[in-house]
Structure 1
Amino acid sequence: MAKSRNNLLGVGGQRKKLSRADQHGAGQGRTADRASAESRKQDLLKKMRERSQSADTSEE
């Protein structure tokens, strides 16, 4: 069968591929995990900045 030049299927970008769990509504837990991981990362960055600032002031 020859390709049709008038077939525009797939034009306009691609859809996000969802896992079976996400298709059945199990995506909420994953977003909560990401949010908690992001908050832990922010806390760690804050601590690292505070340590580096205190090290800079003690060297001066």
Structure 2
Amino acid sequence: MAKSRNNLLGVGGQRKKLSRAEQQGAGSARGADRKAAEDKKQELVRKMRERAEAQAATTAAEPGEQDASPAQS
């Protein structure tokens, strides 16, 4: 006889372990933690972009100022 088709034990992956709060319907704290971490990451990326833009603007302005100095002498 071939393999049993009725025994599906282990098919479909594993279920995650639920905490007591999750079992009682309080929901997951992980979702809130992930949201907070994502917000912090977005804020950090925004600050880094602003700094990079400011540095690029000052770098672009400096050569123009240096070129003007020798011409005035």
TM-score (norm 1): 0.62
The 1:58–1:43 alpha-carbon spacing in structure 2 relative to 1, beyond 3 Å, is: same
Higher normalized contact order (CA 8 Å, seq sep 6+, divided by chain length) = 1
Unmatched runs of 5 consecutive residues or more in structure 2: 61-73
Give 1:15 shift: 1.9
SS of corresponding position for 2:47? helix
Spell out, residue by residue over 1:30-56, the C-alpha distance to the aligned partner (whole angstroms, 9 max, x if none): 423432332122112101111012112
1:14 matched residue in structure 2: 14
Unmatched runs of 5 consecutive residues or more in structure 1: none
TM-score (norm 2): 0.55
Task: Identify which range, 35-44 or 20-29, moves more after superposition.
Answer: 20-29
The 1:21–1:14 alpha-carbon spacing in structure 2 relative to 1, beyond 3 Å, is: same
Greater Rg, structure 1 or structure 2?
A: 2
Count of equivalent residues: 56
